[in-house]
Amino acid sequence: AITVLSKANGVGKTHLGVCLCRKYIHNFLYDNPDKLSYVHTDIFVTDATIYRKVQESYRDKSFQSESDIIERYAKKKFLVIDDLFSSRDNDFARRIMLEIINLRLDWYGLPTFITSNLNRKEIREIDTRIDSRLNNGIVIELQNNTEDKRKAVKE
């Protein structure tokens, strides 16, 4: 896994994730030109989207279970999880993210790119097991004095 952390907004974490997704799709189509109509879906997702999809699976008329949702994200050939723990840091969020990250990294060994506005210490305080798994990959923590690029564009 590659994890990019920064307390600052607008420094390019999400942009980098989008670029990696585009490169992955480009390489897939280059290697599989006969599958031009095939589109990779859900390879870029925020943590909030995952939580929402899991919660929707609890409805009586849902065709998917919580396990189905978790397995779907755990088995993607490539996955970007944007804004890890930006929407919540409760037991539900920790459990869902730990399961997805554990399956992707420890069981399936699949490439995963994660962004967060938290620092290492804050992630460790939320869940030491997730921090440990992220630490097995590359963790890039940008300094807080990084300038918001979105703000600079508007000026």
At 145 the pLDDT is 63
pLDDT tens across 90-122, in order? 899 999 999 999 999 999 999 999 999 999 999
Of residues 99, 102, 54, 104, the one with CA closest to residue 74: 104
The Cα–Cα gap between 59 and 65 comes to: 9
Of residues 89, 88, 116, 114, the one with CA closest to residue 100: 114
The Cα–Cα gap between 151 and 10 comes to: 8
Q: What is the pTM of this model?
A: 0.81
pLDDT tens across 36-57, in order? 555 566 788 999 999 999 999 9
